[in-house]
Amino acid sequence: EVQLVESGGGLVQPGGSLRVSCAVSGFTFSTYAMSWVRQAPGKGLEWVSGISGSGGSTYYAESVKGRFTISRDNSKHTLYLQMNSLRAEDTALYYCARGLATPIWGQGTMVTVSS
């Protein structure tokens, strides 16, 4: 069974850092591009970042460029999002998703940025 399980969310102060993870199973992880998508409370979907299957190419939304870093460990079947210089507007449920247009999503991990 294909599964994506996010973890690592929590409460962090403005300016702080957090790393969220997405553990995958049930498919050949290294052959798929992956994405992070977030959803602020009561708001729409926002694509945040993407990475190629090898990890050699990374992409970011303008809103997070220079503050967030996406990475993957194909040997551990895990996707990461390192978030630095966090702002209140980064508060959201963070989903990982397989591929570009995909039926495969995790359940999300909540990140709250507040003092």
Partner 1 sequence: DIQMTQSPSTLSASVGDRVTITCRASQSINTWLAWYQQKPGKAPKLLIHRASSLESGVPSRFSGSGSGTEFTLTISSLRPDDFATYYCQQYDSYPLSFGGGTKMEIK
CA-nearest of 95, 3, 11, 115 to 48 is 95
Please work out the total of residues on this chain that contact partner 1, with binding judged by CB under 8 A. 20
Nearer to partner 1, 13 or 54 (CB): 54
Please report how close the Cβ of residue 89 comes to partner 1 at its closest, in angstroms.
16
DSSP string, the chain: --EEEEE--EEE-TT--EEEEEEEESS-GGGS-EEEEEE-TTS-EEEEEEE-SSS--EEE-TTTTTTEEEEEETTTTEEEEEE-S--GGG-EEEEEEESSS-S-B---EEEEE--
Part of the chain binding partner 1 (CB under 8 A), chosen from 15-23, 37-45, 67-75, 84-92: 37-45
Do 83 and 68 form a contact (C-beta atoms < 8 A)? yes
Q: Which of residues 84-103 bind partner 1 (CB under 8 A)?
A: 95, 100-103
Answer for which of 46, 78, 91, 112 binds partner 1 (CB under 8 A) is 46
Answer for which of 23, 27, 47, 110 binds partner 1 (CB under 8 A) is 47
Q: Is 50 in the site for partner 1 (CB under 8 A)?
A: yes
Answer for which of 106, 109, 111, 113 binds partner 1 (CB under 8 A) is 106
Could you list the residues that contact partner 1 (CB under 8 A)? Answer: 35, 37, 44-47, 50, 59-62, 95, 100-103, 105-108
